[in-house]
Amino acid sequence: MASSIRSSAVAVEVRRLGTVDYVDAWEQQRRLLDARVAGGPDTLLLLQHPSVYTAGKRTEPHERPVDGTPVVDTDRGGKITWHGPGQLVGYPIIGLAEPLDVVNFVRRVEEALIAVCTELGLPAGRVEGRSGVWLPADGPRPARKIGAIGIRVSRGTTLHGFSLNCDCDLSAFSAIVPCGIADAGVTSLTAELGRRVTVAEVTDAVAQRVCDALDGRLALSGVASTPTPPA
């Protein structure tokens, strides 16, 4: 069993918040980060957002909506993405153990989402050179992204986090180049399983698996062997 990536041995405090405006959630993350640095608990926020586009620091102008739809520019890593109803969003505010290993943190969060998808019967995994959680190409369909990750580390503590598409409106991604990737698709649990999979159905499993992964109770699986250009 791997060791915990967290600097605290106290259990992660999981908060299920329902639907929260993106900017309000961002402000709450910053308050929780200040509290964590001051000795407070690690926290995992689980929620949904009203429909919004958010851009990471590496977003290029041509990847933004072409129709002038507003975008919230953030200080997380990654590129542009969409959040909205039917998508579970998680913000782990976690104090990392020394030495800081941000890549390992991302891999652990990926592993948690992979485990949830696998338990639902989907062959989710990684794509080499790209973050997030993917379903492999099959026949005419390209590889499809079902979970996205974009984080920032400040004062040894993580901000921002991940999203898992449950039963969201995938057409929202058509106005952008999601995560800067033009040669792959975006999908959801509902689209892949052929039945409605709600945020409520998977929230508890995601909470458990993320905590398992961060504390070393979930082993990391291998990276997909088919190389692709870096995102």
Q: Is residue 49 part of a domain?
A: yes
Beta bridge partners of 145: 134, 186
Q: pLDDT tens, 61-116?
A: 777 777 667 788 888 777 788 899 999 999 999 999 999 999 999 999 999 999 99
Residue 229 has pLDDT above 50, yes or no: no
Domain at 202, CATH number: 3.30.930.10
Which position has the higher pLDDT, 37 or 142? 37
Q: Is the pLDDT of residue 224 over 70?
A: no
Q: Are 55 and 148 in contact (CB under 8 A)?
A: no
Could you tell me the sign of the dihedral formed by the alpha carbons of 174, 56, 96, 12, in that order?
negative
5, part of any domain: no
Residue 8 lies in a domain: no
**179 included as an active-site residue:** yes
Question: Quick one: pLDDT at residue 68?
Answer: 66
The predicted pLDDT at position 141 comes to: 84
Whether 200 maps to a domain, the answer reads yes
Whether 92 is in a domain gets the answer: yes
Note whether residue 67 is domain-resident.
Answer: yes
**Inside any domain, residue 7:** no
* Structural domain boundaries, residue 64: 13-214
For residue 104, being part of any structural domain is answered with: yes
Task: Give me the chain's average pLDDT, please.
Answer: 88
Range with the poorest average pLDDT among 10-14, 98-102, 126-130, 223-227: 223-227
* Number of residues assigned to the chain: 231
Report the pLDDT averaged over residues 126-136.
Answer: 88
Domain count, the chain: 1
| Residue matched to tokens 């180049």 | 177
**Is residue 56 pLDDT above 70, yes or no?**
yes
% residues pLDDT > 70 (the chain): 90
Reported pTM: 0.89
Q: What is the pLDDT of residues 158-216, one digit of tens each?
A: 999 999 999 999 988 876 654 444 445 899 999 999 999 999 999 999 999 999 999 99
Catalytic residue among 117, 166, 168, 179: 179
CA distance 196 to 193: 8
